[in-house]
Structure formats: structure tokens, C-alpha cells
Structure 1
Amino acid sequence: MLSLSDFQRIGVGLVGFGLFFILFGILLYFDAVLLAFGNILFLSGMVFIIGIRRTFSFFFQRPKLKGTSFFFGGVIVVLMRWPVLGMLLEAYGFITLFRSFFPVAFGFLASLANIPLLSQLAQKTGESSSMV
């Protein structure tokens, strides 16, 4: 089992609450306050889990600058109370940032349970994935 420090446990809680507030904000027709609060909790939880230096180095790698700029631009737009546009920018930035992680995650999920649709999707994404 994975051993977590106290700061990492706090970070997991912050990320969980952040995702909850983001989901709740979307369900309440893009409530800007809930989305902004969720974004702040999610980002602070990331810092608690992996540390300031590793978070900074993850977001500001040269190949990931486009995704980072869209993600943080979306956070700023949500904070300026334009939630729909901000969430669209954030979603594009998130997909761009974690593009190389999706085939690994789908492969892991397919190995956990032999779900026919999920395993077929994992095989198709695993074949066409490129490490860019």
C-alpha cells in the first residue's frame, strides 16, 4: 500500500474537495464562485501532493507550455466571472497537459476489470499513442 505523508493526505483532501466543487459548480449551471473555489482547491492540493518545485517543473516544461497557458488562462477567466469560457479553456489545457497520460490510465483501468468496451478503447488508444 502507498504510504502518504501528512502533507500529501491534506493534498488529497484538497484535490478531492476541489473536484467536488468543480463538479457541483458545473451542475449548478456554471456557478462562477464554486468553479473558482474548486480551481483554487485543486491547484493548492496539487502543490501539497507533489511539492512546489515538482508542480512548477511539471506545468512549465517547454512541451507543455501551450496546455499550461490555456489551463491557467481558463482559471483566470473563471476568476473574472466568465465561467463557461473559462471552463472550456481549462478543459482544452487539461487535455493538452495530460495527453500522454491518458493511454496509461486507460490501460490501467482495462487491466483492473475486463470490461469489453473499456478494453477495446484502451487497445485502440494504446496503438495510436505517441510520446510527444
Structure 2
Amino acid sequence: MVTLSDFQRIGLGLVGFGAFFILFGMLLYFDSVLLAFGNILFLSGLVFIIGLRRTFTFFFQRQKLKGTSFFLGGVLIVLMRWPILGMLLEAYGFVSLFRSFFPVAFGFLGSLGNIPILSKLLQKLGESSSMV
């Protein structure tokens, strides 16, 4: 079990609320206020989870400057009330920034297949898709 400090717990809550507001803002036809609020909560939660210095070094590594510029530029454009363009830029920047994390996440999802109930469900889904 991973132990979290109080600041990390607060950060996890902020990231969760940020993701909720971003999703809710997208569901409400790209409401710029909700998207902006979600972006601010997400970024502040990230700072609380990993710290200010590590957040700064993560975003401003030489190989991640392109993704950082698109992500933070998208946040700025959402704050200027152009939500669709801003979210498109943010999405590209997010994928560029977290490209190295995706194989780890997919590997974790693959390990979920070892759970008996889920493995049976995945097996049935595989059988039904091969019949088509």
C-alpha cells in the first residue's frame, strides 16, 4: 500500500475535481468557465502531488518543450474563452507530454486480465469479436 502525505491527498482531490470539471465542461458543449476551472484545478493538483520543483522540471525538459507549449498554450486559449481550439491544443500537448507513460498504463490494464471475473469477460468479448 502506498502512503500519501496530506499534501498529496489534497492534490489527488484537486486532480480528480479538475478532471470532473473538464469532463463536465466538455459535456456542456465546451463551457469555457468549467474548462478553465478544471484546468486550474488539474495543474494545481499536479503541483500538490509531485511538488513545485518536480512539476517545473517535468514540464520544461528539453524533449518535452513542444508538448508543454501546446498544453499550456491550450490552457491559456481556454482562459481567453476559445474552448474548442484550446482543448484541441491541450489534447495534443497532453499526448505529447505523457507519451512515455501510456505503455505503463496499458501494461497495467493488461494485468487486470489476471483477475478471474475480468479475464472471463475479456475472453467472451474476444470470442464475440472473432465471430463477426
Deviates more, 1:25-34 or 1:94-103: 94-103
Paired residues in the alignment total 119
Over residues 19-60 of structure 1, what are the superposed CA-to-partner deviations in whole Å (9 max), with x where a residue is unaligned? 000000000000000000000000000000000000000000
Name the residue aligned to 1:66: 66
Give 1:63 shift. 0.2
Structure richer in helix, relative to its length: 2
Q: TM-score, normalised by structure 2?
A: 0.86
1:84 partner SS:
helix
Q: Percent identity?
A: 82
The residue that corresponds to 2:42 in the other structure is 42
Q: How does 1:105-120 map to 2 (within 5 A)?
A: 105-113=105-113, 114=119, 115=122
| Unaligned residue ranges in structure 2 (runs of 5+) | 114-118, 124-132
Q: Which has the larger radius of gyration?
A: 2
| Consecutive aligned runs of 4 or more in structure 1 exceeding 3 Å deviation | none
**Partner of residue 92, structure 1:** 92
Q: Which moves more between the two structures, 105-114 or 74-83?
A: 105-114
- State the partner residue of 1:53: 53
Residue aligned with 1:40, SS: helix
Instruction: Please give the TM-score of this superposition, normalised by the length of structure 1.
Output: 0.86
Which has the higher mean CA deviation after the structures are superposed, 101-110 or 63-72? 101-110
Report the equivalent of 1:4: 4
- Structure 1: 5+ residue runs without aligned partners? 117-132
Q: Which amino acid aligns with 1:23?
A: L
